[in-house]
Chain A
Amino acid sequence: MILPRRSVLAAGAGLALAGCDRIVQVPAARRILFAGEDMQRGLHRALTDRGALAPEYRIDQMSPLFRSNGTNDPGTADYHALAADRFANWRLAVGGLVDRPGAFSLAQLRSMPIRSQITRHDCVEGWSAIGQWAGPMLGTLLHACGIRRSARFVVFRCADLYGGQPYYESIDTIDAFHPQTIVALELNGKVLDIPHGAPARLRVERQLGYKHAKYLQSIEAVASLDGIGKGQGGYWEDNVDYDWYAGI
């Protein structure tokens, strides 16, 4: 009587798999499941060094080709006009909970102390690529604008639309002032190209790729993520239930 039992087992497994899909429809179960993100973030923040640096690599360890993902070209008329002038008219606005809101040109950003780092980019899908990024530290920019103590998050708004909606991302001030968190202007020694986020993109090296907002337009210091987008802190978080904390 082995076969019937086996098929009962197989059918049971199939039902249980389908059951998992039913379970996430229940709001309470969904809340518990989604609390996994807070537990993981809590464990990371509580048990590990908040200032720990992401691994950096040697030049000979770099990916021969660094693939791009997500938007490869924002494709809007405004963006193309900026790109046509090699972003001479582009400004990075910094505002929100700061004492001195500003708008920085590429030349101004390039005149700041530049940090260069060879780091690994991990896509949420599973692939990794190693490249060399250079640009001013986000913390330098935020201090230059006099970020207030009431700020808890930093929001990045981008030039690209994804599925018709503006791409944006956010990180907390722990990651914002992390030394490897930079506004990258260069990849592999060259001015950032359009597929990789020209003219400036965020690098937040202890989190997955979708946090590394490309085509930066503005940076805003805020006390809460409520009321921004759909309130979950990013395009993917709002629309596809990705974790806001992408350190895992």
Chain B
Amino acid sequence: MAPLSPGRTVFRHRIATRLWHWVNAVALFVLLGSGLGISNAHPRLYWGPYGANFDAAWWQLPRFPGWLTIPAGYNLALSRRWHLFFALVLAFGLLAYMVASLFNRHFARDLRIRRGELGAAHLAEDVRDHWNFRFHDPDDPGRYNTLQKLSYVAVLFVLLPLVIITGIALSPGMNAAWPWVLDLFGGRQSARSVHFLSMIGLAGFTVVHLVLVILAGAVNEVRSMLTGWWRVPETGAAE
């Protein structure tokens, strides 16, 4: 079978993926900004079930400036309103996307890591390709490369569930209803620390994701996430 030639367009992202991508992008954006606003109320992180001003903090966080927080001026009540509304968007959005992706076989087809992909030689080659800005396999340009798969899998199945479950662990009402969540993390202040760390992971992913979208061709990538149709780039095959 002839490989897809550069310049051809392929249907790459189904409606469930595209819808969730943008809903989730908005939710993450609001949750990051409002979360940093909430952090400013008590910028100290602890391990264990309790932690307050007299206790030893493992991380004294900086005060996040107004251009990073929602709202810009310190307002814990409004930060919480934003955060707790979009927490529902994030959690139920992820749930709906996961169910849809099982049914439309997005997970099985695009994200399943195949035998051999995790081999040292293959991973080294993938890193080399990234280093040279080659993101697409010329023989099958529509496929995700291994580092891409690994980072999507890490975000979908580790970081997002982790940030949601540690968020639930911060609710005193949910602590009564589901005490096992607290036990999972070793107490509420530990869960709060893990919540912050998983936020850093998600923020880091977002930055790398945006940079790679730009390097891979922002117009083509954004259009494909809007319409589903993606043009096979020249560079992928040319190099």
Residue ranges of A at the interface with B (Cβ–Cβ < 8 Å):
2, 5-6, 9, 13-14, 16-18, 20-21, 24, 32-37, 39-40, 44, 47-49, 52-55, 57, 61-65, 67, 120, 122-130, 205-208, 236, 240-243, 246-248
Contact = CB atoms under 8 A, between A and B. Distances in A.
B182 interface: yes
Interface stretch (B68-76, B93-101, B134-142, B230-238): B68-76
A206 B38 CA distance: 20
A126 B72 CA distance: 19
A127 B53 contact: yes
A128 B177 CA distance: 18
A210 B211 CA distance: 43
Contacts of A248: 84, 170-174
B51 A242 contact: no
A206 B173 contact: yes
A5 B214 contact: yes
B164 to A, nearest CB: 13
Given A17-B70, A55-B175, A241-B81, 13 more contacts: A17-B72, A18-B72, A20-B71, A21-B72, A67-B52, A120-B49, A125-B42, A130-B49, A206-B176, A242-B80, A243-B77, A247-B173, A248-B170
B118 interface: no
B172 A207 contact: yes
Interface residues of B, number: 49
Nearest to B173: A247
B182 A55 contact: yes
A67 B188 contact: no
Contacts of B85: 32-33, 35-36, 39
B178 A48 contact: yes
B50 A128 contact: yes
Interface of B: 29-30, 33, 38-39, 41-42, 44, 49-55, 67-72, 76-78, 80-82, 84-85, 88, 170-179, 182, 188-189, 192, 210-211, 214-215, 218
A2 B212 CA distance: 11
A20 B82 contact: yes
Nearest to A239: B77
Nearest to A21: B71
A169 to B, nearest CB: 15
Contacts of A40: 84, 88
Give the most central of A57, A120, A128, A208: most B CB within 10 Å: A128
A14 B176 CA distance: 39
Contacts of A208: 172
Contacts, number: 148
A5 B175 CA distance: 45
A194 to B, nearest CB: 18
B82 A129 contact: no
Nearest to A52: B176
A130 to B, nearest CB: 5
B76 A125 contact: yes
A248 B54 CA distance: 24
Give the most central of B53, B177, B188, B192: most A CB within 10 Å: B177
Contacts of A127: 42, 44, 51-53
Contacts of B67: 14, 17
A13 B33 CA distance: 10
A17 B42 contact: no
A124 B52 CA distance: 12
B33 A20 contact: yes
Contact of A67 (B39, B54, B69): B54
A188 B197 CA distance: 33
Contacts of A124: 41, 76, 80
Given A17-B68, A20-B30, A120-B50, A44 B77 contact: no
Contact of A52 (B44, B52, B71, B177): B177
10 contacts: A36-B85, A44-B173, A52-B176, A122-B172, A124-B76, A127-B53, A128-B49, A130-B49, A241-B77, A247-B174
A247 B172 CA distance: 5
